[in-house]
């Protein structure tokens, strides 16, 4: 075995009878407050000499930090492959998790504690199959899974199981601590899900399947096994049955014995999903039994085993021969892993989040565990406080009435006490006046919540994560799961340092912050606005980025240097220059500029030049804002402008509709960039040469109408072509051309973006109106979509002003033609309208 298993006893050393007498198995629902209370009551009654908890066996050294007062759930054990940090597994714990309460009980009573499930090195080594479980509630849809045949490296069972960017799927039981790498929950555990797992690729902040894996929905004709027990008890809702029978119980060993017996019956009638799943479960349970045998050797007292209820029948009673379990575990693959504690959140435990462990209302479960006396009354009081926070008039009388209604509903439904369904109904009916929007505040803020756990500073962590934590704390950036908008003034050193940190994290693929549109408080180019939100799975991105360096600045610089060497796109290189300056890692800028200069020398595509210059010019501007020397960037930008001037005339010949739209958009950003370059004190000669070149393209007939119209508009706006020329050029363009749609494209290019020119130039509007009204019906139908798209881009006030000017033009035409309104003919109609409006005759 080469040391793969910890201290395995020889077969026959521990008798089966000894195990049956000394081992007590406590089958629980992971993240169940009722199960947690029952575990505590059972441990107080048993006073075991050792406690075994379902969890990765090689995470034992991390248990000492679980005893720290600075460790505040929800937290998660985090394991990742050293050679591929994105290949990772999480084991979350909440304060109401039975496993967590068992860990705390062992620490408080100085009782030895061990994890007993397959170690993380086995989970992350994979078993050649990857599964993704569906929502772990009893009434959930069948499990979604990837067909067998994935590889152990990236898509094996050790890989995660959440989702790709297009679809997020909660993860149930797998190969670690009840939920190791990826497998779907065993039948009963779809109701009592094990802890979640996940993996991610470096380029994707979302935890998910590899792009080439197909997720399909399995046909689970068995249905939910827990529903069998609920149906036998006369319940039509398995979730409600579980809450009544398990979560609402007060504890006692008898309840665990009854649950183990029920699960044993279920295991005889509910087969595994596949032979591969059966083999995986056999390995897990074999490892747990071996851990029990080792504990039996090491102690003479009672051994308490806290595990998922589905596994309880396989661990309770007389143990089978050890030789069979050793054979089952022989040949386990191994992978070097690193383990640490990371903060977790309630929302990531919720099945509705798409990356949860099937706990639909972790905030309510937390309340049930921390407020066992009068939970309904205390909960509804908290609900009233949350609603008052949204300016809703909720009084003490409302709370009293809602409590009475919840008690009455529980009695009518035959429940021992009000549960989540009853307090929900009472909240909606009494506290929210049947307003589902108001009730939604309660769901998001209380039932789920965004409680973020905390990990001791001295706990093992990825070096990059430790540096990030220290840096964020020094900059007073709070790591918080709640979204927060932060305005930064780059003239202040503290804000500039915050900006640099967030940009460095973006370069590393750690999307803690997302740039947003500046708020009203921002100060022009000196201001930035960020949306900050910390998701627990960012720990995977941090672990992946740790391969670039042990601190955020060094890791970002190394990642940039590698990206510059491997990039094949001129525009992406110029954007990288911009990002380097934003991240304040100017030491790597010479290397990026060298690669950019080399690439620009060989790239003759004018479209690439047009696309590359804006980012380069923004980098020059950002350098000015931050005080960074950017002379090299400015000179390179001028060179690219000169090359674009030489190649532009041939690049715009014979373009199709799609290419013309792309070129038009690039021209718009290009002109803004060139203007910005001039404002920085560079590029004035190049801008004049550019506009002279554009003027030479005005009368060309081989240029797409969209581009020709845009060129004419740019030259008029810049004063290169006199404004009084606009109407004449429009009239000339509309008088020639093969089709009406070609003319409409020229109009779209000329007018798109703003309609102020039509408001202020009546001659231009008169020419356009005359052409449009003179079209025959078929041509009108052909150009209408193009014109509607063009005018649809105008602001509402601009369209209103254009309509007013058109009305004035129409009045002028009628007056010139002698077509004055006949007041006498209109008098009868006016009298009728006056009567209708109550104005008399």
Task: Give the tens place of pLDDT for each residue, 581-609.
Answer: 888 887 888 888 788 777 777 776 777 77
Report whether 94 contacts 73 (CB < 8 A). yes
**Last-in-domain residue among 517, 533, 548:** 548
Whether 162 and 32 share a structural domain: yes
Among residues 403, 425, 448, the one where a domain terminates is: 448
Structural domain contains residue 684: no
Rama region for 3: left / alpha / beta (φ>0; ψ in -120 to 50; rest)? left
CA distance 600 to 569: 10
409 and 284 fall within a common domain: no
- Report in angstroms the alpha-carbon separations of 31 from 94, 192, 335, 363: 7, 8, 29, 11
745, part of any domain: no
pLDDT of residue 629: 53
651 within domain boundaries: no
Q: Do 402 and 490 belong to one domain?
A: no
* Domain membership flag for residue 322: yes
Closest to 346 measured CA to CA, from 476, 165, 196: 196
Cβ atoms 250, 303 nearer than 8 A: no
Domain endpoint, select from 498, 515, 548: 548
Same domain, 323 and 471: no
pLDDT of residue 794: 77
Q: Looking at the structure, do residues 130 and 176 belong to the same domain, yes or no? A: yes
Shared-domain flag, residues 173 and 144: yes
Same domain assignment for residues 486 and 441: no
Does any domain span residue 700? no
Looking at the domain assignment, is residue 48 inside a domain? yes
Determine the pLDDT at residue 647.
Answer: 80
458 lies in some domain: no
CA proximity to 345, closest of 538, 70, 74, 90: 74
Distances (CA, A) of 734 to 253, 747, 761, 769, 792: 90, 9, 17, 11, 21
Q: Are residues 390 and 513 in the same domain?
A: no
Which residue from 214, 199, 168, 193 is spatially nearest to 87, judged by alpha carbons?
A: 199
Residues 329 and 409 placed together within one structural domain of the fold: no
Are the C-beta atoms of residues 315 and 307 closer than 8 Å to each other?
yes
Give CA–CA dist 590/633, Å, rounded. Answer: 10
Tell me: do 37 and 149 sit in the same domain.
Answer: yes
- Counting as low any pLDDT under 70, the low residues of the chain are 1-20, 127-227, 236-240, 242-243, 246-252, 272-273, 351-359, 518-525, 547, 604, 621-634, 680-681, 683, 723-724, 736-738, 755, 757, 761, 809-824, 836-841
**Residue 575 counted as domain residue:** no
The Cα 281–Cα 287 span in angstroms is 10
Strand partners, 337: 81
Where does 526-605 have alpha helices with state H? 538-545, 552-566, 570-582, 589-602
Domain range enclosing 223: 16-353
11's tokens:
């077969």
What is the Cβ-side half-sphere exposure of residue 144, based on CA atoms within 13 angstroms?
19
How many structural domains is the chain composed of?
3
> Is 338 found in the same domain as 480?
no
Same domain assignment for residues 441 and 467: no
| pLDDT of res. 822 | 65
């Amino acid at each position: 075995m080469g040391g793969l298993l910890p201290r395995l006893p020889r077969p026959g050393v521990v008798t089966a009878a000894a195990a049956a007498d000394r081992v007590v198995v406590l089958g629980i629902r992971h993240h169940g407050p009722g199960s947690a209370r029952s575990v505590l009551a059972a441990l107080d009654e048993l006073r075991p000499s050792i406690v075994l908890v379902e969890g990765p066996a090689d995470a034992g050294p991390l248990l000492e930090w679980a005893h720290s007062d600075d460790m505040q759930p929800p937290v998660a054990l985090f394991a990742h492959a050293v050679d591929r940090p994105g290949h990772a597994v999480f084991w979350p714990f909440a304060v109401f998790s039975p496993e967590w309460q068992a860990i705390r009980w062992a620490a408080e009573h100085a009782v030895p504690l061990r994890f007993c499930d397959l170690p993380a090195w086995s989970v992350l080594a994979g078993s050649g199959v990857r599964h993704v479980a569906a929502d772990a509630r009893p009434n959930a849809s069948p499990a979604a899974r990837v067909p067998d045949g994935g590889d152990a490296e990236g898509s094996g069972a050790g890989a995660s199981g959440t989702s790709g960017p297009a679809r997020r799927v909660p993860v149930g039981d797998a190969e670690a601590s009840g939920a190791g790498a990826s497998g779907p929950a065993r039948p009963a555990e779809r109701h009592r899900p094990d802890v979640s797992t996940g993996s991610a690729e470096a380029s994707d902040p979302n935890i998910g399947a590899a792009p080439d894996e197909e997720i399909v929905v399995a046909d689970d004709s068995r249905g939910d096994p827990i529903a069998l027990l609920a149906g036998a008890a006369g319940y039509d809702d398995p979730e409600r049955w579980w809450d009544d029978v398990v979560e609402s119980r007060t504890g006692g060993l008898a309840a665990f014995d009854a649950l183990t017996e029920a699960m044993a019956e279920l295991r005889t009638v509910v087969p595994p999903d596949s032979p591969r799943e059966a083999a995986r479960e056999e390995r897990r349970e074999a490892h747990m039994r071996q851990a029990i045998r080792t504990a039996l050797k090491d102690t003479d007292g009672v051994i308490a085993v806290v595990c998922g209820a589905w596994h309880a029948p396989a661990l309770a009673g007389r143990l089978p021969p050890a030789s069979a379990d050793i054979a089952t575990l022989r040949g386990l693959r191994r992978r070097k892993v690193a383990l640490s504690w990371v903060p977790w959140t309630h929302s990531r435990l919720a099945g509705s989040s798409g990356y949860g462990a099937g706990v639909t209302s972790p905030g309510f479960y937390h309340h049930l565990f921390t407020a066992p006396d009068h939970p309904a009354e205390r909960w509804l009081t908290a609900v009233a406080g949350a609603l008052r926070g949204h300016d809703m008039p909720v009084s003490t009388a409302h709370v009293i009435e809602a409590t009475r209604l919840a008690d009455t509903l529980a009695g009518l439904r035959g429940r021992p006490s009000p549960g989540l369904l009853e307090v929900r109904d009472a909240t909606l009916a009494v506290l929210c006046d049947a307003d589902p929007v108001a009730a939604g505040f309660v769901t998001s803020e209380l039932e789920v919540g965004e409680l973020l756990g905390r990990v001791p500073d001295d706990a093992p962590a990825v070096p990059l994560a430790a540096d990030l934590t220290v840096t964020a704390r020094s900059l007073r950036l709070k790591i918080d799961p709640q979204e927060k908008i932060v305005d930064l003034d780059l003239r202040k050193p503290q804000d500039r340092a915050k900006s640099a940190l967030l940009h460095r994290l973006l370069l590393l693929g750690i999307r803690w912050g997302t740039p947003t549109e500046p708020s009203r408080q921002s100060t022009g180019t000196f201001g930035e606005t960020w949306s900050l939100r910390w998701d627990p799975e960012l720990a995977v991105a941090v672990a992946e980025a740790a391969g670039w360096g042990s601190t955020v600045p060094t890791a970002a610089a190394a990642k940039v240097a590698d990206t510059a060497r491997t990039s094949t796109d001129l525009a992406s290189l110029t954007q990288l220059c911009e990002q380097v300056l934003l991240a304040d890692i100017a030491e790597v800028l010479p290397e990026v500029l060298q690669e950019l200069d080399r690439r620009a020398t060989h790239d003759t595509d004018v479209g690439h030049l047009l696309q590359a210059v804006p980012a380069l010019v923004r980098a020059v501007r950002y350098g000015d804002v931050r005080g960074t020397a950017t002379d090299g960037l400015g000179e390179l930008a001028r060179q690219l402008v000169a090359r674009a001037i030489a190649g532009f005339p041939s690049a715009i010949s014979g373009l199709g509709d799609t290419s013309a739209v792309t070129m038009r958009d690039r021209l718009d950003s290009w002109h803004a960039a060139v203007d910005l370059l001039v404002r920085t004190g560079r590029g004035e000669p190049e801008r004049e040469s550019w506009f002279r070149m554009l003027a030479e393209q005005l009368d060309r007939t081989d240029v797409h109408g969209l581009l020709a119209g845009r060129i004419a508009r740019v030259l008029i706006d810049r004063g290169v072509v006199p404004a009084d020329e606009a109407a004449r050029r429009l009239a000339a363009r509309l008088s020639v051309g093969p089709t009406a749609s070609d003319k409409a494209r020229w109009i779209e290019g000329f007018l798109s973006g703003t309609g102020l020119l039509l408001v202020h130039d009546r001659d231009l509007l008169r020419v356009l109106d005359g052409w449009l009204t003179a079209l025959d019906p078929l041509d009108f139908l052909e150009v209408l979509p193009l014109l509607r798209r063009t005018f649809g881009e105008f602001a509402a006030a601009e369209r209103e002003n254009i309509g007013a000017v058109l009305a004035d033009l129409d009045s002028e035409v009628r007056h010139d033609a002698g077509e004055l309104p006949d007041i006498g003919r209109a008098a009868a109609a006016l009298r009728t309208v006056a009567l209708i409006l109550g104005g008399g005759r």
